Structure 1
Amino acid sequence: MAEKLLASATEATRYQREWFQGLHEPVAAGGPLALVNADAPQEIFRAMEIPYVVNQWWASVVAAKQRAPHHLELLRERGYPDHTEQYSSISLASLFDPEPHNAPWGGLPRPTIVLAETVGDGGRKIFDVWGSRPGITYYALESAAENAVPVNWWDLMPHDWEKAVGTARLDLMVSELHNLIRFLETTTGHVFSERALRRVLDLVNEQAEWNRRSRDLIARTTPSPLAVTDSIPSVMIPQWHRGSEWARDAAQRFYEEVEDRVRAGAAVCEDERARLMWIGRGLWFDMDFYRRFEERHGAVFVWSMYLAIAADGYPRYGDDPLRTLAARFASFHDQLYTPPWSSEWYVKEARLHRVDGVVHLVSDDARGSYFTTRALRAAGFPVYELHADNVDTRSFPETAECAMEEWLEREVVRR
């Protein structure tokens, strides 16, 4: 794997490894542990000091260590599907591993609580299986929709989120957050504090503002000062620790390191010929994929959803902490996957970053991908659809990289 250029990326990975290893002993002693989806209100757990692991983060670690095929086989052996929702089901497979000590980082400790929205039939059934296991409770959150869709939600969200999300939708999530808090207090013995939640929300906003500065700086800098393989860990690992001072400070360190590189004129690819956008989840089993296009074609991936959504999707300011938190997550899925929320945002980001082309990873469980591609092409951006799953190597065609290189030279570089 290509060596990381940024100290912030290396430091974030080190911190995450040490933090994760520190979970095993208290969980083995009977302490609570939550497994939560990436789009769940993790701030409640942070405020109540209940440790949690993000489901999709663990799947990315398993895939990066080339253990995803083994985990998918564990599902298949037990009669569960191994060909759909792989990103969400890999963690479930950890339950069935007869040799968990061989898993990355000592294996996933057994959670006592799993939390996820009910998005899609497959996702709901995965968590139903979790909840059927002894000692594990599945707490489900509803996934609501709103007929009125703001085109420029990214402008409204920080302060005018009631208008952007909709009152009925927020009312539902606030009531669910109250119920979640009661459930956690009853089952864990930890006590909720509104004061603690306010502090968590303040820190999340500070972190988001640093991420916004980083996103905007990278967008306006040519050639690109860093590789996407650096920005993803530098941004996402602190995201899983949102609401902590470490995460806020890590976001600041990332910005300052990028700023230093920009001032020094540093470039990840001196002969930058094309700026590319990567839409979709990270290709965790082959992160060198991105760097090979820099080396062979001078094509730099300057955008991923991870930094962009960290900049636009998280800042929320308000006087009522639970309602403010609800505003962050009631429409989170829409921002990435539901048109026109998502499609208009991708076009906005493509223009902001002045990209020359877009690579769109389309998985079998993707929602709204057709509309994303259509919107970008209508806006004048060449789009290559890469049909594969981001953690399942079996889905990645052998000819995919060559076909993408041909598209790149034909429709992007020459143009």
Structure 2
Amino acid sequence: MNEVKQSSAAPISEERSKSKAVKKLKATAAASAHQKEWFSELKKRVSDGEEFGYLNADVPMEILCAMDIPFVVNQWWAAICGAKRMTKKYFGLLRDANYRDDLCSYCATAFAESLDPDDHKFDAEGHPLGPWGGLPDPTIAITRLTCDCQSKIFELFAKNHNADFYVMENTIARKTPLNWYELAPDHWEELYDKDRLDLAVEDLKRLIAFLEWKTGKQFDINKLEHVMNLINRQEGYYKKIRDLIAACHPVPVTVVDTINAVMQAQWQRGTQWAADHAESLYYEIKELADKGEAAVPNEKYRLMWIGRGIWHDFSFYQNFEKKYGAVFMWSMYLAMGADAYIRNHVADDPLRALAARYIGMEDFLHMPPWNSSWYVQQAKQNDIDGVVYMVPGNCMQAVEGSYFIKKALEEAGFPVLIFQADPVDPRKWNADTMTDLVDKFIEQQVIPSAEKRKAKQ
């Protein structure tokens, strides 16, 4: 497979360790500012006695949104901890507590944080020691049975916070339409097995009953319909953004802006703020595109990033712009929003529409040929010159059939660099080594492939 396992032996240069990604969009800055304001309000609600949920990303958060139950998404919080460079300390605490040192970082970060006695304390100057003052104590922890170790990590996390632990079912597809992204918005009854949808609806009803018992709040199907419609509006703008960027030569924005702007709003989907933010993001990017502005003025090569974001080193994506004119312009965060979330005809049956949204998410992301066929389609739509594919070495889900993804892309004519790294744990990342690796990939594979393709045209 020619997979590269990254070495962390060499020290990161002082210049590289201090570098930061340059984010240009107002919408990206607005999203970051809103997140801090929202998190502060959430902490106040929790301190005032409200129930507080901690959810894995594939849990149908729309139910909690419709019931006005405050929650935080596990992957978002892991990204925050990684961006604040707290994970080195947290995983040291895991090791000190005699847990394995190679637990999946996305799932285990919050659990590791729960071992930190300083998490909610302040230094002598009044600065919080934990990221954004630390995660408030959840009273509910919810995950799905999509991974053998994930549920156990969530169970331990819930125990440390004295929270109720709730697990949802996961089912496996018996049919795999390769054009799932065309069927998902309107034809989910064709996309999924009927009994799989039926079971997911019943699972949602059990979740609702549990949340009503736990919080004392009542579920309202009309509020869920409103939430679902807001999400359709939000994801509709992401689709317009994704398609606009794909059609632009050169591109007006890079993944440094789009990942941050999209992911932060995605974990608050169903709110008026998230829908409005997606709209503002679209019009800001459209204005740049209409003016013909280029994120990388010397753009020559368009790169696709497959995998989770390198949250502790976002500047990495910009290391290849000046030297090669190589721009990372595609990520799953925006593209998944465009293709995986929209569910029309919500009024017919909001619960079934929601079931049709969340039960396939693991298939779309982690299961060939669902994911591999989509990546190829996206690479073609975006005129990609090369694919850089990060596979976390400690997450079984995120291995996601990497051999088959690489094979499908290369057979379609796209050069692929695949390597192991960690999205939130900087102990397993060497920026200099990885920059050199991508440099060689661009020089030895991307540029020759692009020149050969141009010669045929």
The partner residue of 1:25 within 44, 50, 55 is 44
Aligned position for 1:324: 353
The partner residue of 2:403 within 346, 355, 370 is 370
- State the 1:80 CA deviation: 2.0
- State the 1:34 CA deviation: 0.6
The partner residue of 2:437 within 399, 403, 406 is 403
For residues 38-77 of structure 1, the aligned pairs below 5 Å read 38-77=57-96
List runs of 5+ in structure 2 lacking aligned partners. Answer: 1-19, 121-128, 450-457
Whether the 8 Å contact between 1:21 and 1:106 is mirrored in structure 2 is no
Cα distance in 2 for partners of 1:36, 1:241 equals 12
Deviations 1:285-332 (A, max 9, x none): 100000111122210011000000000010012311111000000111
Percent sequence identity over matched residues? 43
Aligned position for 1:357: 386
Aligned position for 2:421: 388
Determine helix, strand or coil for the equivalent of 2:203: helix
Determine helix, strand or coil for the equivalent of 1:22: helix
Whether the 8 Å contact between 1:235 and 1:307 is mirrored in structure 2 is yes
Deviations 1:24-78 (A, max 9, x none): 2221232111111112101000000001101011111111111111111122222
Aligned position for 2:124: none
Aligned position for 1:87: 106
Aligned position for 1:129: 156
Whether the 8 Å contact between 1:386 and 1:400 is mirrored in structure 2 is no
- State the 1:81 CA deviation: 2.2
The partner residue of 1:337 within 354, 362, 366 is 366
TM-score (ref. length: structure 1): 0.98
List runs of 5+ in structure 1 lacking aligned partners. Answer: none
Whether the 8 Å contact between 2:22 and 2:256 is mirrored in structure 1 is no
Deviations 1:119-148 (A, max 9, x none): 221212101212334631111111111221
- 2:333 partner amino acid: Y
Cα distance in 2 for partners of 1:358, 1:50 equals 40
Determine helix, strand or coil for the equivalent of 2:418: strand
Determine helix, strand or coil for the equivalent of 1:224: coil
The partner residue of 1:237 within 264, 267, 281 is 264
1:163 matched to 2:186: no
- 1:375 partner amino acid: A
- 1:362 partner amino acid: V
The partner residue of 2:282 within 252, 255, 260 is 255
Aligned position for 1:11: 30
- State the 1:251 CA deviation: 0.4
Structure 1 window deviating more from structure 2 (27-36 vs 45-54): it is 27-36
- State the 1:394 CA deviation: 2.4
| Higher RCO (C-alpha 8 Å, min separation 6) | 2
- State the 1:400 CA deviation: 2.4
TM-score (ref. length: structure 2): 0.89
Aligned position for 1:184: 211
Aligned position for 2:312: 285
Whether the 8 Å contact between 2:138 and 2:163 is mirrored in structure 1 is yes
Whether the 8 Å contact between 2:262 and 2:334 is mirrored in structure 1 is yes
- State the 1:90 CA deviation: 0.3
Aligned position for 1:414: 448
- 1:94 partner amino acid: E
C-alpha RMSD over aligned residues: 1.2
Q: How many pairs align?
A: 415
